[in-house]
Amino acid sequence: MTTSPGTPVVVGITGASGAELARATVDALLDSGTPVIASASSASRLVWEHELDESFGAALERWTDTGLFTYHPPTQLNASIASGSLATRGMAIVPCSMATAAAVAHGFADNLIRRAADVCIKEKRPLVLVPRETPLSAIHLENLTSLARLGVTILPPEPPFYLRELTVDRIVDYIAHRVIVALGLADAMPETFRYDGP
């Protein structure tokens, strides 16, 4: 299947800590002119409320105003992204809870986010998970390993300690750009985030 810059990317937002990572990733995708189709789990809405000042509704409005953004509730299992017949450039689940990682690792497609991820795996499209949990149990690691073996990119939100003057905003921005590169939408990280070695 061929895809063009007008082909959407799917973003699943789940109930791990790190709502800021979801907001920054959607912002960066839309800023780059990439259409986004998103869904957010009910747990993610609780985390969002707890961690961010901007309400989820306000963010949805802001994203919708770009004309590039579509939202489906996670219960809407008949949405376009539940089928492999809709061409997409892949999916990012950011942040990804251990519950969603477990479900996706086992093909348990009981909501739209999990089903859209299942579709990416079966259609061999890029799938990027930004898992957030610490410490990780053997259950978490085994699920993430199963997914990595299927070609899923496991991209934990690790700070780039080699960069100077790190702030949370800068780390979040770094991870959002890492997701974009992992999806194959950019060849390399912006200069400001690159390791400046000899």
Ligand X SMILES: Cc1cc2nc3c(=O)[nH]c(=O)nc-3n(C[C@H](O)[C@H](O)[C@H](O)COP(=O)(O)O)c2cc1C
Strand 36-40 vs strand 69-71: parallel, antiparallel, or unpaired?
parallel
Partners of 96 in the beta sheet? 131
Residues between 34 and 53 that touch ligand X (CB under 6 A): 41, 43-44, 46-47, 50
- Alpha carbon distance 43, 22 (integer Å): 13
Site for ligand X in 139-198 (CB under 6 A): none
Q: Is 133 near ligand X (CB under 6 A)?
A: yes
Show the tokens assigned to 146. 């199963």
Length of the chain: 198
User: In 3D, which of 151, 142, 72 has the Cα closest to residue 113?
Assistant: 72
**x-marked contacts with ligand X along 8-37 as a string, rule CB under 6 A:** ------xxxx--------------------
Closer Cβ to ligand X, 44 or 153, answer by number: 44
Question: Phi/psi at 129 (nearest 5 deg)?
Answer: -110, 135
How many residues bind ligand X (CB under 6 A)? The answer is: 16
Nearer to ligand X, 65 or 158 (CB): 158
Binding footprint of ligand X on the chain (CB under 6 A): 14-17, 41, 43-44, 46-47, 50, 97-100, 132-133
